Structure formats: structure tokens, C-alpha cells
Structure 1
Amino acid sequence: MTRKFRVAVIGAGIAARHLTGFKWNADLFEVPVLCSLDEERGRRLCDEYGIPEYVQDVETLFARDDIDIIDICTPPHSHFDLSRRALEAGKHVICEKPLFGSVADVDAMAEIVRATGKTIMPIFQYRYGMGLQKLKRLTELGITGRAFLTTIETHWWRSPDYFAVDWRGKWKTELGGGLLGHAIHAHDMLNYIHGPCDAVFAYGATLNNPIETEDTMALAVRMKNGSLAALSMTLNSHEEISRLRFCFENVTVESILEPYTMGRDPWRFIAKDEAQQKVVDAALAEMEKTEDGYTRQFELFHHALLEGGAPPVTLQDARNSLELVTAAYHSDRTGMPTPMPIAADHPLYRSWLPELG
């Protein structure tokens, strides 16, 4: 019989999507308890997903010996402390994006993981859309050839009502603007396909919303693999789209435009000629269809815990993502290109918050 891991969920917002992922993996996970400061929302989720226990005191979760995993679905500024306490209490951790508020926090968490022997998995569920997985497979097989250019558009709409939630739009609680909290998934997909970034030049602005953080940003990126990327993010697009376009030596690949599931099929794979198209089509035809999103990421996490391997999304993946954010904020403020990786001597290594950086 497959082992079921018992999960305590903290939060009652994005937690609903996590609970759907656990529900679709009911043979792998069970959720006996949910913790939320918002009792109305928390109890509603317990009723909807059949969770037997609701608590408000997070301390009770760390002390329990019947919990294997703590799933953190809280505002960003609380992620590091909750993750640390959960790991030190002997639990594995799942944590929503953005993982932490600095590259230094990621490096500190890596030390905590080594000391406790437990596993932390950041959330980047967009990776598991079948369209992106097809591209990943082509790169693994060497079919794409050299990478040339990637363009990524994260053009969404966020009204003042969205920012009426007290922790949003503020540096100290949301930790960043649209670059960090919204475009982070698409930018992780860039790293997922091409590996880490090498340097970035960025312009950011707050053009429409009465917030502290940026609502629009444009980045020019050089990748370690030699290719280039142009990334744009705005929360001021009345027509919401997400679009990823990858230009390789042998094939050009383009995502769908659906803003929140752009990793899913049907993606377009246009080879350079008829013979190469047959190679591409044959490789894609051999792929097994899997679940996507949280469902797939949680399934792979279960496998990693059983086998003792690395989780499907690692701290290094989160570091790559937060290095891009750090470099972009630094470039915007200095007017200069910023190289990566971000090391301990970088002025924004410990924080990119304007008042602390």
C-alpha cells in the first residue's frame, strides 16, 4: 500500500488550490487539519474539503507528531519564519511563492534543511502544464538545437479592490510588486527551460495603482546558455494574457495566451522544415499525458519523499528566481546592468526592500 503523508495547511486563500491538488492525490495525501486566522474562510474550506479539524493557533501544528508536512499558504513576509519552525519541528515543508524576501534567506534555509534533514519544496506549479512539459522534453532530447531568443509577456489587470487587502502592494508584507508576485511563475519557466540568468537590465514603474511597489516592468536578460530574453510585466492590461515564445535553432515554440494556465496545451511547435517537423511531432507523440499544476507537483513531491531524492522544485530553483528579481530591482535603481549570480557581497543580497536595501 502506498504511504499517505499527512498535511497541515496554513492559510485560507491560495490554500484552496492546494487543497484541490491534495484532493486529486487522495491516495497519496490526507489533510487532517487547517490553520487560519480567518475563521470564516478557514471553516468554510474545512467543510468544502472534508477537513476534520480547524485551528487558529499555528503553534499547535509544530508540536504534533501526527503531521508529516506543513503546507504554507500565507502572505509572503511570513514564509521564512514558518518554514524554519516547521523544519526544526521535524516536518517537511511546502511553501507558496514568492518563497522568501531575499537570496540570503534562501541560503540560510539551505543550511536549516541540511541541519534538520527535512525537505522544503517551493511552489512553481505552472511548470507542469503539458505544453511546457513538451518543450522541456524536446530540449532534453536535443531536438530544439541552440537557444536564440525568448520573449515572455505577463500582462494582467489588478484593480484597486485587489490592493484593498491590507498586505498587498506594500514592500514589508508583499515584499515586491508584479515582478515578484505575478510574473514570477513565467520567469521560473524561463529558468526551467534555459537554466540560470547571467545578467539583466531593467526598468520598473508604478503607473496606475496607488501602491508602494511596481505595477509595470521591462527586463532585458542574457542567459548563461548564451541566449537572450525580453520579459515584460504589467498589472494594467485590460485584456489579460500570458505569452511565452521560444526561438531555437530548429524550432519556434509559442504558448497559449490564457493568463493563468499558459503552461497548458495546445502550444505551437513550428519546426524549421518538414523533416524537422516530423522529428518534433514524433517525439511529442511519445509523451505520456499527466496531470498538471499543483496536482502534478504534489504527486512528484510524494515520489521524492518516498525515494529520498530532491523535490521537483528545489531551493536552487527558488534562488534562481529570486536572483532575477534581485538583479532587476538593483538594475532599475542603479540604471546599470546587473550580473548574476547574486553573492553575499551584493548590496541587495540580504534585502531588496528600498528602506532596507
Structure 2
Amino acid sequence: MMLKIGVIGTGAISSSHIDAYLNFPERCEIVALCDIYPEKAKSAAEKFKLDADIYDNYQEMLNRDDIHIISVCTPPYTHADTAIDILNAGKNVIVEKPMASSLEECDRMIEAAKKNNKILSVVAQNRFRTPMMKLKNLLDSKLMGPIVHTQVDSYWWRGHSYYDLWWRGTWEKEGGGCTLNHAVHHIDIFQWMNGMPQEVTAVMSNTSHDNAEVEDISVAICKYEDGSLAQITSSVIHHGEEQQLIFQGKNARVSVPWKVKASKSQENGFPEEDKELEDKLIETYNAYPEVEFEGHAGQIDNVMTAIEKGKSILIDGVQGRQTLELITAIYQSASLGGTVKLPLEKNSLFYTREGIMENAIHFYEKKTSVENFSDNKITTGGNY
């Protein structure tokens, strides 16, 4: 069966989706593009040489019986209603990160997917990278012993004008700053590999972007039931954008970018190299096969295979919600002070979008609103 594809929102990130679909010409065809600025959709169709219908209202696209999957590449505050409408129209959804602006919206999206028996896949394309899959396999082997400390450095850099775009830099439309919109990928990998912590304590600030309400840096400490700790730094103020995840086990440490070190104790407690364990870790890491399709292409292949063969997907709405729950806990702790226990309950002040807008720290007023940047070129961080 040739799967027919629609894309809603043809801004910068949509190119990653379109490119990914074009990897599979025998399996799918992009037949519809939608944008509130239809000239952007037309431009995308021309750029990628697509024979696709152009819409300025996605509801018209939903009336078509021939579309199987729709990618949602619009600003975060629109994700929930758009995805729910698509699911209710009997179509499968791939929604860009972050899944939604609040846990309440996530719950409605998950319910709509269940009710309509359709796929809701939340973009976390970095899971579909060879170093990430290899590292996940290695952690699952338990060769390192229990994880005692994890370090997540989600370092990005964005200039002042980044927040001039009309929907960015506000709690209402962007839903948050770097923690939600940049570190979301690292936080997703972190909770996928390490599980959800028991509690979160965080601080955040805006040091360099006085045209945005939201944070440009946050630092969170997570504690697990077994006493292990994790630290997560989310930033758009780090030059060089060095990004890493480091897992310290009782017996060894591993990371992306890949590095391994194992120690054993001398009689006096000081370390000496455990070469045997290092070699075993390297052997286990190398034994895991290369990922056939990386990034967005890997996730789109995963979703199409689920439709074609009735298999389960790697990143569903529940997984996407867990990532947002951890981010929401960071915002709640940083805004209200104190430690936040997980899971977050529905009575949390940060459960709804309205609650977040009302209770989150507003650092500055948004001063500028640009409809579109003439330069649509984006970068997507480290290459692990």
C-alpha cells in the first residue's frame, strides 16, 4: 500500500520531515501541504519538487479520504488541537516536539489516539541515531552496574533576534524556553535510558534575551528512589554547543559522544583502570548494529512500519508525555521554589497551559514580533 502523507506547517523543521519521507518513494507520497502562509507551502512544494495540493486551513485537508499520515510542524501551542482533530478524522499523526504545551493537552491527545485506534507518534528523532541506540543497548546490559549519576548537557546558542519570531519567547505560544524547545531531545533520551526520577529541584534564568518572557538557561537536579542523582542543564547561551549525556555506573562510565572508562579499587580505595571491563563494554557497544535510517527518517520508517505490519512504535504519546512531565516539573520547581515530587498530579498548578502562563516566571516582555525570517536556515545541534 502506498501511504499518502500530509504536512501541516511548512516552516524550518518541516524540511526534516519532507526530506525523511522522500527516503521512501516506494512506500509513501506527499500529497498535501498546509500553512497559514500558503506561499510558504508553495515554496516548499517547489523546493522539494512535490506534486502536492496546497491548503491554508488544515481542516480542508482532513476531509480527504486518501491521507494516512499527517506531520504536524506548527508552533507548540497548536499541537494538541491540531493532533486531536487529525486523530478524530481517522488519520495517524507524527507531531513535532514538544508534544504539547501542557500535560492536560497531552492527556487529551493520548485519549484521542486511543479512542480512534490511530498512531500518535511524538518526534524524538535522536533516539534513531546509531550512537543512541548503541548506548541504550549497552545500558540495558547492566554491565556498568547501577547508574549512580547522570549528566545531561543540552548546550545550544541562539542570538537575540531568535526570539523576535512572532510565536517564540512567550509562555502562551512557545510554552517555555530552552528547557522545553531545545533540551527536550536530551531530556527525552535521558528518561528513555534512565527512567523517570522521583523528584526534581531546579532554577532558571534569562541572561541574554530581554525580548523573551521565557528562560534561556535552567539547571535541574533529579533524585531517584535508589538515591542516584542526575543533573540537567538546558541552555541557549552556550557558545560551541557542546552536547553530551554521561552515565556513571558503579563499575564504569559511558557517554555520547562515545567515551568509556572503567575503574576498580586498589586496596587503599584509590582507582586503577579496569581494562577487562572496558574491553567488554566496547565489545557490547560495537556489537549492536548500525541504524539503517537515522533521525527523522528513522522515526518515519518506524511509524510506517507500524501501519504496514501492525507493529508498535518506539515513541508514542505516553513516552512523549513523560518527557513533558519532567520538563514541567523543572518549570514548577524553578518558578515556585522547592522540590517537586513526581508523578505530577492533575492538581498541580502547572498541569494546564493556563496554569503555566499564570504561575511561570515571566522574565521580560516580548518586544518584537516578526512574521517570518527571510533566512530559513537552521542548525540542529551536535552530531554525536
Which TM-score applies when normalising by structure 2?
Answer: 0.86
Q: Does 1:355 align with 2:331?
A: no
Residue 11 of structure 1 corresponds to which residue in structure 2? 9
- On the 8 A contact 2:220/2:231 being kept in 1, the answer is yes
Q: How many pairs align?
A: 345
1:120-131 aligned within 5 A = 120-131=120-131
Residue 263 of structure 1 corresponds to which residue in structure 2? none
Q: Which has the higher mean CA deviation after the structures are superposed, 299-308 or 77-86?
A: 299-308
1:20 offset after TM fit, Å? 1.1
1:356 offset after TM fit, Å? 6.5
Residue 271 of structure 1 corresponds to which residue in structure 2? 262
SS at match of 1:45: helix
Structure 2 Cα separation of the partners of residues 73 and 226 of structure 1: 39
1:50-89 aligned within 5 A = 50-53=49-52, 54-89=54-89
Q: Which has the higher mean CA deviation after the structures are superposed, 88-97 or 283-292?
A: 283-292
1:176 offset after TM fit, Å? 0.6
- On the 8 A contact 1:33/1:55 being kept in 2, the answer is yes
Structure 2 Cα separation of the partners of residues 229 and 114 of structure 1: 33
Residue 223 of structure 2 corresponds to which residue in structure 1? 222
- On the 8 A contact 2:134/2:286 being kept in 1, the answer is no
- On the 8 A contact 1:7/1:67 being kept in 2, the answer is yes
1:1-357 aligned within 5 A = 3-13=1-11, 14-53=13-52, 54-210=54-210, 211-224=212-225, 226-256=227-257, 267-272=258-263, 273-290=274-291, 291-351=293-353, 352-355=355-358
Structure 1 Cα separation of the partners of residues 359 and 110 of structure 2: 23
Structure 2 Cα separation of the partners of residues 356 and 331 of structure 1: 11
Q: Report the AA paired with residue 64 of structure 1.
A: R
Structure 1 Cα separation of the partners of residues 129 and 193 of structure 2: 13
Structure 2 Cα separation of the partners of residues 163 and 347 of structure 1: 26
1:233 offset after TM fit, Å? 1.7
Structure 1 Cα separation of the partners of residues 323 and 204 of structure 2: 17
User: Max radius of gyration: which structure?
Assistant: 2
Structure 2 Cα separation of the partners of residues 224 and 35 of structure 1: 46
1:69 offset after TM fit, Å? 0.8
SS at match of 2:84: helix
Q: How far does the alpha carbon of each residue in 1:224-246 deviate from its partner, in whole angstroms, 9 at most, with x for none?
A: 56431111122122322212111
Unpaired segments ≥5 residues, structure 2: 264-273, 361-384
| Root-mean-square deviation (Å) | 1.7
Which TM-score applies when normalising by structure 1?
Answer: 0.92
Q: Kindly tell me: are residues 250 and 4 of structure 1, through their superposed partners in 2, closer, same or farther at Cα, counting changes over 3 Å?
A: farther
1:121 offset after TM fit, Å? 0.3
Q: Which has the higher mean CA deviation after the structures are superposed, 110-119 or 78-87?
A: 110-119
Q: Kindly tell me: are residues 225 and 60 of structure 1, through their superposed partners in 2, closer, same or farther at Cα, counting changes over 3 Å?
A: farther
- On the 8 A contact 1:170/1:212 being kept in 2, the answer is yes
The ranges of structure 1 where at least 4 consecutive aligned residues each deviate by more than 6 angstroms after the TM superposition are none
